[in-house]
Structure 1
Amino acid sequence: MEDRLALSALDWWEEAGVDTFVDDAPRDWLAPAAAPAAPAPVRNHPSPSAQAEAPATLPADLAAFRRFLLADGAVPGPPLARLDATGDPASGTMMILDMPEAGDRAAGRLLTGDVGELFDKMLGAMGLSRDIAYLAPLSPARSASGRLTPEAITALGALMRHHIALVRPKRLLLLGDAPARALLGLGCVEARGRTHDVTSEGGPVPAIASFHPRLLIQTPARKKAAWEDLQLFMAL
């Protein structure tokens, strides 16, 4: 039991970005700095920031790319914490959210709990369901903080553009701030209320940005504005 708790704590700190242990021995912080050592030979090891970037060559097949998103080290987040996209990629309707909810990994699917119930109601109001839409997370894994850094948004946006090119949807719904920033360069509040074109290798795709169902639960007053966005989306 104690071993499992210790491993769980270490996993949490690793996800949070802690990669250096504190020294056990005391250190004299006032001692003069040692002379710099000769520079080590340059090796072709990628830096941590380079590892977060999309590889030069990505799978050209949707099924292979989805497997890549779930397993490859170039994708931010531990593989065991990642979730796959759901729904029908041939439906023509693609919806993008920031990341899984806190309880999604245990449930084994995206958007569960109260947030998922509201999302299903939003789909029903548009005459859609999870079976006749394609739902994909910008980040397959939930971050420890529940937020994505600007660097992660940039790297994940490059992967999502490739994802969109493989799916070739007729319309996109961007749910929340992170997908809007990744694909439009605007926050959700700035981007909503009008149609945008998201460029990808497959050409431009019309897109509507709206609030994430999570935010609508936290601030119900925004539901009227969200319904206006969904009406724009249905008109695409």
Structure 2
Amino acid sequence: MLPRLLRLVPGLLLYGVADAFMIRAAVGVDPWTVFAQGVSVRTGLGIGLLTNLIGLAVLLLWIPLRQRPGIGTVLNILLVGPGIELGLWLLPAPESLWTRVGFFATGLVLLAVASGVYIGAHLGPGPRDGLMTGIHLRFGTPIWVGRTGVEVTVLVVGWILGGDAGLGTLAFALLIGPLCGITLPLFDPVARRNRRERAANRSAPSSESRPGPSPREAAA
């Protein structure tokens, strides 16, 4: 358990810092951060605190969906928000467009790395990920349908409230999946083992493809 916690906690804090890079870039952020920014504009509360509160509210939605949180779920709610606030405190607001694009790219890559690190700990999904799987299990809809529906909804609401939706939001939607496809196996020993086993099964000849004994061997 301790080695997995030592992966989980830095991974969640790094996730928050990665979000801070993209927020400072001001070219658009992921849908949930757009939502948090919009609520922040309307309430004056910090984005980090709101990220925690929104995560807690999403966790309450797990109850009718009959999802069970793990320790990773709880720590996700507690640590990502402070990670964002730490990153915003440390990072200056860049002025030139290319610096902002560099900040966004750095944040996107760091977020993919952080996802691989904390998901690889296998101590429970984040509240938003659990919401998607809960919708899938409760209503039988494909996971991508539930995820798309929820994220489009929070994106639109956040943008109406004043959140930063832009080209970075589109880039996030297009690139985070492929990047996590690289980082999850890289930082998750279980995923690496499963990949090796699948590769071994594909390369091993099946019983039907193995050559049978020659007539001389059969006669012997």
Give the TM-score taking structure 1 as reference length.
0.30
Structure with the higher strand share, 1 or 2:
1
Structure with the higher helix share, 1 or 2:
2
Give the TM-score taking structure 2 as reference length.
0.31
Q: Which has the higher relative contact order, 1 or 2, with Cα contacts under 8 A spaced 6 or more apart?
A: 2
